[in-house]
Amino acid sequence: MEHIQSINPDRVQWCCDDRDITTEELAANLKIAQASVENLMIGEGGVTFNQLRKIADYFNRGMLFFLEPEPANEKRVHTSQFRTIANQKPELDAKIKALIERVERHRDVYLSLREDLGEADERPFLPPKLTTKSSKEVAAIARGWLDLSEKKTTFDDYRQAVEARGILVFRSNGYNGPWQISKDNPICGFSLYDPACPVIVVKKQRYESRQVFTLMHELGHVLLHQSSFIDEEEDLYSYQGKEKEANAFAGHLIVPDKFLKRINDDHRPNEVDQYDNWLSAFRKQWGCSSEVILRRLFDGGRLNRQQYRAYRLWRKEQVIPEKEGGTRQYRYREPRHIFGEPFVRTVLDALSAKHISLAKASTYLDNLKIKDVHQLEGAYANL
């Protein structure tokens, strides 16, 4: 098979350094002979078209990127949003970096398809007008902006409300693959701010209440700070700076003061291991965790620091049994769970209008098999 000789080895090395891997690891990961990669790097050989495509896909780059003779320029390769997040967490692993770039690419696809469909102006991001920097007051404004009612308490409810305001909401997949955030990874979410179309990414977790809080925390960054952020679990308990503001925003939005007044402090148990039972009905009504309610009570002076910390320590020590692995019987449903309603519907509309091929639609929808794409089309036709 003919080999491509004009590959720029410096760009391959730049990508390896950017992902913190060696060329040996690259060869092993892509199942390319190490000798072939070594020869490529010293300019004494090339790789086949299929091998170059593997390298390009692995690094989320186009194949032409590796044929350009100039050195790679970070400001041209990475968006300002990516660089903002990378500067916040310099230790980000390669998989999270790849996920961030993948999200950015899907947002570009979404905006491009909407333009092709003539729908670019139908779902604009128009944030509410803010006359205050108070997290509490902004949260009250945001509840009205999102048109939230007391009946909207699930993650899907909150997600749809945010999506209706022109913000894409992606959720990582629970199965191993390019859209997964490993359960061992401390990252629980991130937001990519863009004045035209922000994106919020939420890590799939066992409890929906955690996902809801992450979503609202990231929305706080979008509305309050108008900048990109990436958050680990510990950031969602921070008492400092912009993380504190985003936490306060999320807490007040999910549990506003009028909700909190329904809790009778006289009924609070003496033992922290009984707090979950005490707050059980409220958690179900509001779609949140005991932690969020207790944090609101603590911030409002109705719970002292010792009680709050004792609960958190007790909760941390609880061993939660692992769930048994699920099946992928309904694989065709997964794109909607990952990318949300607006993205999936836009791809299917573009496919129906023949703006994209079936193969391209499959690529955009997490590489669904063709039969699954047709099944997904059928499901949307019945909505």
Check pLDDT > 70 for residue 326: no
Residue 335: name the closest of 216, 211, 171, 209 by CA: 171
Q: What is the DSSP letter of 322?
A: P
Res 327: pLDDT: 66
Under a CB-based contact definition with an 8 Å cutoff, are residues 160 and 341 in contact?
yes
Residue 144: Cβ-neighbour burial (10 angstroms; 0-12, 13-18, 19+): exposed
Tokens of 326: 């699920």
359/308 Cα distance (integer angstroms): 53
Q: What is the DSSP letter of 203?
A: -
Fold adopted by 3-77:
434 Repressor (Amino-terminal Domain) (1.10.260)
pLDDT, tens digit, for every residue of 246-260? 999 999 999 999 999
All residues at 6 or more sequence positions from 208 whose CB lies less than 8 Å from its CB, including other chains: 154, 155, 287
Tokens of 369: 């098999």
Res 186: pLDDT: 94
The alpha carbon torsion through 286, 292, 297, 298 (nearest 10 deg) reads 180
Confidence of residue 43 (pLDDT cuts 50, 70, 90): confident
pLDDT, tens digit, for every residue of 60-83? 888 999 999 999 998 888 889 999
Tokens of 94: 């390669």
Q: What is the CA radius of gyration of the chain?
A: 23
342/160 Cα distance (integer angstroms): 9
For the whole model, what pTM was predicted?
Answer: 0.89
pLDDT, tens digit, for every residue of 266-282? 999 999 999 999 999 99
Strands 168-171 and 47-48: unpaired
Handedness of CA 151, 154, 157, 161 (dihedral sign): positive
Delimit the domains of the chain by residue range.
Answer: 3-77, 80-254, 256-318, 331-381
pLDDT, tens digit, for every residue of 165-195? 999 999 999 888 899 999 899 999 999 999 9
